[in-house]
């Protein structure tokens, strides 16, 4: 069957660079190619601004070069250290916390007796994923607002004046941001792991049952080992993003409150503020270049590791 079809075009062997019938392909790729050049590759070239003292009216071609001044300025304060520490630490905690919660929830959901209940719960858990951080900031504010917030209202009931401004309490924010991030993201991840569990062949479970395994033994010896693989790979892959802070989370939820920057500022919010509040284009580009380069190196390292463990899951 496979051998019947004759080779259609034997002289095609000597491939020409341009084949006429490929012309539509170039045409179809054209809009995206133009887009990529203008909106992706030009900004990469624009990173040169990190070495300039940019004057917006004069533009890139009219501004003087200042060498590594912008980097010196960036790294001379503790800012660079604080935003790097915050970005990396928050991301690491986010990854671990979300992973643990969503795996537990997926295991519970998959073993429920009622499939309808499990489906309904899934739909509920997914909901926050579809809310923007502009909305979530308002939801958080409904609890924490100094004058009207639910938390202060409850504190008032105990006789306390209840006038704490939660947006000035640095100690509250690290756990709160971890909670908000989990609140938004766990449902989505749960559904992902649930899909993996649903893909495990029922043969394993039937065999286990015939051997007298309890439901917990099944989870321990069948489900979790099956998940371990995808979890391991996605853990490693997510390491490549730990240099990118979630701008929405860190900017809107603490309402850009200056008093708690020490615990809420990440690289992305720092760049935004350096650009829009300070108008310091050079230094914000320098911070951006720092982020891009370290991020790129991380991706390369992560990919090399994944390639060694499991080439099929590697990015490239």
Partner 1 sequence: MAREVRHVNKLMQLSKGWNAVFVIILFFMASLVLIPMLLIVVISFSSEISIATKGYSFFPTEWSLDGYKYLFKTGDQLLDSYKVTIFYSVTGTLMSLACMTMYAYVIAQKKFRFSKFFTWFLFFTMLFGGGLVPSYILNVRYLRINNTIWIFLLPWLVNAYHTIILRTFIRSTIPDTLFEAARIDGAGHFRIYVSIVLPLFKTGIATVGLFSMVARWNDWFVGMLYIRNPKLIPLQTLLHKLQNTIDFLKQNAAIAGTPDGVALLRTLPDENLRMACTIMVILPILFAYPFFQRYFVQGLTVGSIKG
Q: Contact region for partner 1 (CB under 8 A) — 68-76, 81-89, 90-98, 207-215? A: 207-215
**Residue 284 is a binding residue for partner 1 (CB under 8 A):** yes
| In the complex, minimum distance from the CB of residue 148 to partner 1, in angstroms, rounded to a whole number | 4
Q: Which of residues 230-269 bind partner 1 (CB under 8 A)?
A: 247-248, 252, 255, 268
Radius of gyration of the chain (CA): 26
Q: Which of 51, 71, 94, 133 binds partner 1 (CB under 8 A)?
A: 133
- Residues 209, 198: Cα–Cα separation, whole Å: 17
Read off the tokens for 245. Answer: 């802070």
List the one residue out of 269, 302, 299 whose CA is nearest residue 84.
269
**Residue 59 is a binding residue for partner 1 (CB under 8 A):** yes
Compute CA distances 308 → 90, 133, 233, 295, 315, whole Å.
28, 38, 11, 20, 12
- Residues 69, 282: Cα–Cα separation, whole Å: 9
Phi and psi at 52, nearest 5°, equal -120, 160
# of chain residues touching partner 1 (CB under 8 A):
104
Q: Contact region for partner 1 (CB under 8 A) — 71-79, 86-94, 121-129, 169-177? A: 121-129
| In the complex, minimum distance from the CB of residue 27 to partner 1, in angstroms, rounded to a whole number | 8
SS3 52: strand
Q: Which of 170, 178, 188, 273 binds partner 1 (CB under 8 A)?
A: 188
Nearer to partner 1, 11 or 21 (CB): 21
| In the complex, minimum distance from the CB of residue 115 to partner 1, in angstroms, rounded to a whole number | 11
- Residues 43, 162: Cα–Cα separation, whole Å: 49
Contact 300, 243 (CB under 8 A): no
Q: Which of residues 63-82 bind partner 1 (CB under 8 A)?
A: none
**Residue 204 is a binding residue for partner 1 (CB under 8 A):** no
**Residue 142 is a binding residue for partner 1 (CB under 8 A):** yes
């Amino acid at each position: 069957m496979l051998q019947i079809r004759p080779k259609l075009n034997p002289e095609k062997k000597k491939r020409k660079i341009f084949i006429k019938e490929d012309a539509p392909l170039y045409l179809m790729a054209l809009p995206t190619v133009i887009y990529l050049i203008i909106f992706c590759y030009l900004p990469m070239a624009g990173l040169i601004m990190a070495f300039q003292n940019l004057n917006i009216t004069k533009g890139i071609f009219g501004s003087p070069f200042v060498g590594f001044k912008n980097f010196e300025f960036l790294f001379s304060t503790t800012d660079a250290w604080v935003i790097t520490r915050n970005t990396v630490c928050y991301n690491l905690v986010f990854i671990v916390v979300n992973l643990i919660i969503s795996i537990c929830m997926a295991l519970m959901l998959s073993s429920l007796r009622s499939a309808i209940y499990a489906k309904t719960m899934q739909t509920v858990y997914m909901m926050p994923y579809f809310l923007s951080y502009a909305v979530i900031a308002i939801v958080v504010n409904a609890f924490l607002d100094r004058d009207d917030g639910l938390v202060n209202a409850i504190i008032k009931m105990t006789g306390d004046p209840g006038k704490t401004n939660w947006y000035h309490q640095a100690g509250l924010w690290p756990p709160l941001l971890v909670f908000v991030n989990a609140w938004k993201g766990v449902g989505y991840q749960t559904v992902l792991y649930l899909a993996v569990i649903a893909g495990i062949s029922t043969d394993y479970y039937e065999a286990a049952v015939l051997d007298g395994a309890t439901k917990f033994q099944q989870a321990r010896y069948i489900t979790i080992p099956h998940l371990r693989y995808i979890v391991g790979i996605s853990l490693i892959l997510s390491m490549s993003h730990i240099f990118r802070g979630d701008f929405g989370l860190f900017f809107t939820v603490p309402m850009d409150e200056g008093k708690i920057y020490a615990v809420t500022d990440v690289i992305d919010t720092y760049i935004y503020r350096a650009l829009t509040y300070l108008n310091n284009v050079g230094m914000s580009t320098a911070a951006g270049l720092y982020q891009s380069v370290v991020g790129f190196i991380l991706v390369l390292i992560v990919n090399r590791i994944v390639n060694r463990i499991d080439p099929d899951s590697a990015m490239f």
